[in-house]
Structures are given as structure tokens and as C-alpha cells.
Amino acid sequence: MDLKNIDCRHFKGDKPCRFSQNKMCLPFQNQDCPAFEPIEKMTLIIKLGALGDVLRTTTLLPALKKNDPHGSIVWLTSPAAVPLLENSGVYKVLPWNLDSVLWAENVQWNRVISLDKEEGPTTLASRARASRRYGFGRNKHGLLIPLSRASEYLFLLGIDDQEKFRINKKTYPHLIAEACDLEWGPNPYVLNLSEKEINWGNSIIPNSKEHPHIGLNVGSGEAFAGKKWPMENFVKLAQQLTNEGFVPVFLGGAKEKDLYEKLKNEGKAPGLFPGCEFSLREFMAIVSKLKAMVAGDTLAMHIGIALGVWQVTLFGSTTEREIEFYGKGEALVENIPCAPCYKRVCPTKEECMSKISVERVFEAIKRGLNNRW
């Protein structure tokens, strides 16, 4: 056995293999191993954040699988995003840290895909040993560059607002597939819940055919202004939904805890308040129980899309152009001259969101449910 060429994905090296009953690896004993699985055509995906962007980058996985059915995909991501990639079929999900970066630098990659723009990930993409590179890297002056001809349009969208906000009609999953020279299917998000997670979701949101559960996500993240729909609108919507036989389910993240608790304790908004401090996987299990969800352009929206839950998404400071709903959602946008602004702080009063009426949102929910029931 030539250790330089050992290529079984179960080989540990520092301990006995579980497939050899904790004895020496079978090929070392000149025996065939029934569990042998070669590591073939290795692809490195570097996509650290944001969480919603990581989730929508999973749309590359089906296309990569089609290209290399036995290929091995390794994904370097932010520690917070690691749970998003559980059960995704990725060979290794590595948190971004020095160990992972050093390990990745030593591997001979068949393909490197780099979709962040920060210095660290893009520099790794340019330094890693690879036959093909896609996405973004760094040149010898340390400047951001597209790594292939196929990735040039994606690069251009980052430096041309007119192209990004007015001309481009392709969604982000479509753009990244093309930027990586992969087929655009359309390829779905990959988010697989385990049976245990699904059962846990059932214990929080019971099944009800007569009274569909509608998620109202009050969370908005902190990166941009213009993602928050006024709370009084959520309350009015909850009242309207309840009157029509739906069950509103209020959702949010740990950052919205105070707001969420206030809303719950005031008692003006009818519906379920399952809590707002769940783990990512628990949050996903809850969303999987919904028939529709109202949210801003947030991680919650991406989770809903991934799980095939009808989305009514309110867009303010960011563009709806790059969101792929796969026919299971609607983007509600007000015609405001300053939008999309991608500003952190709104110079006015976030009219881009507040002007979206409760009635409009309610009608969009009903359209989705009627189309599917």
C-alpha cells in the first residue's frame, strides 16, 4: 500500500477505520474492502456568508452532482453557517479557521468555486492548487478579480448598479450556475431535514388542514435599512388572517427577542408565538410546517424557499431581481424612487416597506394558497 495515494473517504489515519471492526484498514492487509469509496474529482466551495447567501449557494450542488456523480465536494463556510449544510450530501463541511485553510491549501482540487469577495476567502481561492477556478480571487496586487471568463458577468454586477438593478433579469442561483460553467436547471436549494427534526417540528406546530399556519417573520437582520415592515401591520395582518380561519405563527430571531416578547405580552396579535431563540435547524423544522410565510429579504425567506413554503416577500432597500422563487412566491415592491438603496440607515422613514399595504400582503398569501389547494 502506497500511503501517498491512499484515497478512501473513510480513511482516518489517526485511528482504526470503523469498517474494519477497529482493526487495520483492509487494503493494508491485502484484502478488498466492501466499504471502499474513492475520493474523486474534488471541488472546493468557498462561501462563508451571509447565511441566506450560503443557503442559496446550495443550488450549485445538484448541478455539480450531475457533472461529477462521484465527485467529492468540500465546503468552507462561516462557523454559524455550518448547520445549514447538514444532510446536504457535501463530503466535508469545514468552518473557516486556520486549520481548514491550511488543509485546503494542500489539496489538489479539480475545481475551486469562490463566491465571497472578502480578502481571506478570495486569496485562498487564488492560492489553492486547482485545475479550474470560478468566482472571485485576487491578482498579484491583491485586487479582486473574476477567476474565469464564465465569472466575469457576476463580477460586473458588483461594479455596475445600472446592470445589477435595472438590466439583469437572472436570479442569483442562475447567475452563479453560469459563473461556474454549470447547467441552470433551474436547480433547487438543498435543505434536508432529518426525521427527528421533522418530528420535533410537528410537536411545535401541529398539523391542521382546516386552519393553515402562516408564518409572520418579524426579524429583519441588521445589515440594511428598509427590511422591516411596521409591527402594527403585522398585527393587522394577524387579525385578518385569524378572521379568515388561518393561524398566524410569529417568528423571529434572538435579536428580535424584546420586540417579540412585547408583541406577545401585549396580546393584540392573535396567533402562535413558538419563541424566537431556536437553533437554525429547529427554526427550519418550524418553517417546514407552514403553508405560507411573510418575511422581508432575510434568511427566513431563503429557508422558506428551500422548503417549498409559499413566500410573500416584502422588498425595500434590496432588489427582488435576484431572488428565485421557483413559482412558489411573490415579491411585493413599492415604486419608490430611492429603492433599492442598499443603505444601512434610511435617510427618510423607510417608506419602501411601510407603504406596502396589509391588504396587498393578505391577497398575496391567499393567491399562493389558492394555487396550491
Q: Is 164 in the site for ligand SF4 (CB under 6 A)?
A: no
Cell numbers 429583519 correspond to 220
Spatial neighbors of 246 by CB under 8 A, at least 6 apart, are: 211, 212, 213, 214, 365
Terminal-residue alpha carbon distance, the chain: 60
| One of 45, 113, 341, 358 touching ligand SF4 (CB under 6 A) | 341
In whole angstroms, how close is the CB of 321 to ligand SF4 at the nearest point? 14
In whole angstroms, how close is the CB of 334 to ligand SF4 at the nearest point? 9
Instruction: Return d(Cα 231, Cα 359) in angstroms, integer.
Output: 15
Which helix H or strand E contains 46, and what residues bound it? strand 40-46
Q: Residue count at the site for ligand SF4 (CB under 6 A)?
A: 15
In whole angstroms, how close is the CB of 220 to ligand SF4 at the nearest point? 11
Beta bridge partners of 8: 38
Radius of gyration of the chain (CA): 23
CB atoms near residue 134 (< 10 Å): 28
Q: Is 199 in the site for ligand SF4 (CB under 6 A)?
A: no
Among 173, 249, 178, which residue's Cα sits nearest to residue 218? Answer: 249
| One of 240, 336, 360, 366 touching ligand SF4 (CB under 6 A) | 336
Check: CB of residue 41 under 8 Å from CB of residue 48: no
Angle at the Cα of 133 from the Cα atoms of 102 and 175, rounded to 5 degrees: 120
Q: Is 226 in the site for ligand SF4 (CB under 6 A)?
A: yes
Q: Is 366 in the site for ligand SF4 (CB under 6 A)?
A: no
| One of 348, 359, 371, 372 touching ligand SF4 (CB under 6 A) | 348
Which helix H or strand E contains 293, and what residues bound it? strand 292-296
In whole angstroms, how close is the CB of 313 to ligand SF4 at the nearest point? 15
In whole angstroms, how close is the CB of 229 to ligand SF4 at the nearest point? 12
Site string for ligand SF4, 293-332 (x = CB under 6 A): -----------------------xx---------------
187 or 317: CB nearest ligand SF4: 317
Instruction: Return d(Cα 172, Cα 318) in angstroms, integer.
Output: 13
| One of 339, 356, 364, 365 touching ligand SF4 (CB under 6 A) | 339
Q: Is 369 in the site for ligand SF4 (CB under 6 A)?
A: no
Spatial neighbors of 317 by CB under 8 A, at least 6 apart, are: 224, 225, 226, 227, 339, 340, 341, 342, 343, 346, 350, 352
Stretch that binds ligand SF4, among 245-253, 276-284, 300-308, 334-342 (CB under 6 A): 334-342
Stretch that binds ligand SF4, among 50-58, 86-94, 158-166, 337-345 (CB under 6 A): 337-345
Stretch that binds ligand SF4, among 2-10, 42-50, 209-217, 336-344 (CB under 6 A): 336-344
| One of 64, 276, 346, 358 touching ligand SF4 (CB under 6 A) | 346
**Cα–chain-centroid distance for residue 190?**
9
Beta bridge partners of 44: 74, 112
| Residue with nearest beta carbon to ligand SF4 | 226
| One of 17, 190, 225, 312 touching ligand SF4 (CB under 6 A) | 225
**Cα–chain-centroid distance for residue 90?**
15
69 or 337: CB nearest ligand SF4: 337
Strands 108-114 and 40-46: parallel
- Integer CA distances (angstroms), 132 to 70, 109, 365, in order: 18, 8, 44
Q: Is 107 in the site for ligand SF4 (CB under 6 A)?
A: no
Q: Is 356 in the site for ligand SF4 (CB under 6 A)?
A: no
For residue 195 the three cell numbers come to: 426525521
| One of 178, 320, 351, 363 touching ligand SF4 (CB under 6 A) | 351
> Contact residues for ligand SF4 (CB under 6 A)?
225-226, 316-317, 336, 338-339, 341, 343, 346-348, 350-352
